[in-house]
Structure 1
Amino acid sequence: MPKYLLIMRGTDESNAAMMAGIDEMIATTRQFIDEMVKAGVLLAAEGLDDPRQGVVVDFSAETPVVTDGPYGETKELFGGFFMLDVASKQEAVEWAKRVPVARGAKIEIRRVPGSDEVPQA
């Protein structure tokens, strides 16, 4: 079956709303993860640390430049992901519609190509 990555993208506002109700959000997310495990579709799920703790390696110049986070454009930042093993993009969409997120957040869905689809040198 194909794999799909559900990438959680939050804004400053949706992240603040999520943090305001963090205990409820954690409980709801755990329940959602349990449902995906029971359905046999969850391969991995991780949240990401605060972007202020990250760095960016920029390859625009000849020598890579490393800068501390947050990123230059912080309207939408990746907050975590779910990796699913489902039959179709539509099934991934149906799971994404159920992800517990705060109003204003988005879920980006990307198919993960299999190793047999990667061009060989």
Structure 2
Amino acid sequence: MRFMVIVKATKESEAGEMPSEQLLTEMGNYNEELVKAGVMLAGEGLHPSSKGVRVRFSGKNRTVIDGPFAETKELIAGFWIMQCKSREEVIEWVRRCPNPHDGESEIEIRQIFEAEDFGAEFTPELREQEERLRTEAARYANKA
């Protein structure tokens, strides 16, 4: 099972405050544990929403909205993609995470859909296309 582990933003992360050397060291050690355990598939920190945009969809219309965005508690400061045997396992890994911000922090865990979750609507042709695209994307990622 794959999970997206979402580090919620804070006022400080939205203000562009960078983590301390100590936190970077602790996170590096934690990430190393995740990699050695075969749990971490990806993980990154994100720039504040002031450098981001949103694209709002309304039928065929698209509207681009520049950041920053108001609700800090709804914003993402970083993420991991983790592969674990169960929801309980990913929770245990997250409980071991260093506090990602000074003071109060929140990390959200969301399971990622797998092909079998989509049922019959995900036809063999669509499954083949998905697999081909994943393989191609991985090839491009390895060239970067």
Q: Indicate the TM-score class for this superposition, using the shorter chain for normalisation.
A: 0.7 to 0.9
State the one-letter code of the partner of 1:64. R
1:56 alignment counterpart: 54
Identity of aligned residues (%): 34
Q: Which protein is bigger by CA-based radius of gyration?
A: 2
Q: Is the 8 A contact 2:8 2:73 kept in 1?
A: no
Quote the residue 1:106 is aligned against. 106
Q: Which residue of 2 aligns with 1:39?
A: 37
Displacement of 1:72 in angstroms is 3.6
Query: Does the 8 A contact of 2:9 with 2:72 survive in 1?
Result: no
Aligned residue for 1:93, secondary structure, equals helix
Decide whether the 8 Å contact of 1:59 with 1:65 is kept in 2: yes
Show structure 1 runs of 4+ deviating over 3 A: 18-21
Aligned residues: 118
SS in 2 for 1:87: coil
Query: Deviation at 1:95?
Result: 0.9
Gaps of 5+ in 2: 124-144
* TM, length-normalised to structure 1: 0.84
Structure 1 residue runs without a partner (length 5+): none
Alpha-carbon deviation of 1:39?
1.0
Identify the residue that residue 5 of structure 1 maps to in structure 2: 4
Whether the 8 Å CA contact 1:10–1:104 is kept in 2: the answer is no
CA-to-aligned-CA distance 1:84-117 (integer Å, 9 cap, x gap): 1111001111111122212311111001121122
Equivalent residue in structure 1 for 2:76, among 72, 75, 78: 78
Q: Structure 1 counterpart of 2:8, which letter? A: R
Match of 2:129?
none
Give the alignment partner of residue 93 of structure 1, picking from 74, 88, 91.
Answer: 91
Shift of 1:62: 5.6
More relative contact order, 1 or 2 (CA 8 Å, 6+ apart): 1
1:116 matched residue in structure 2:
116
Alpha-carbon shift at residue 46 of structure 1 (Å): 1.1
Alpha-carbon distance in 2 for matches of 1:19, 1:53: 14
The structure whose residues are more often strand, as a share, is 1
Structure with bigger helix share is: 2
Please, what is the CA RMSD of the aligned residues?
Answer: 2.2
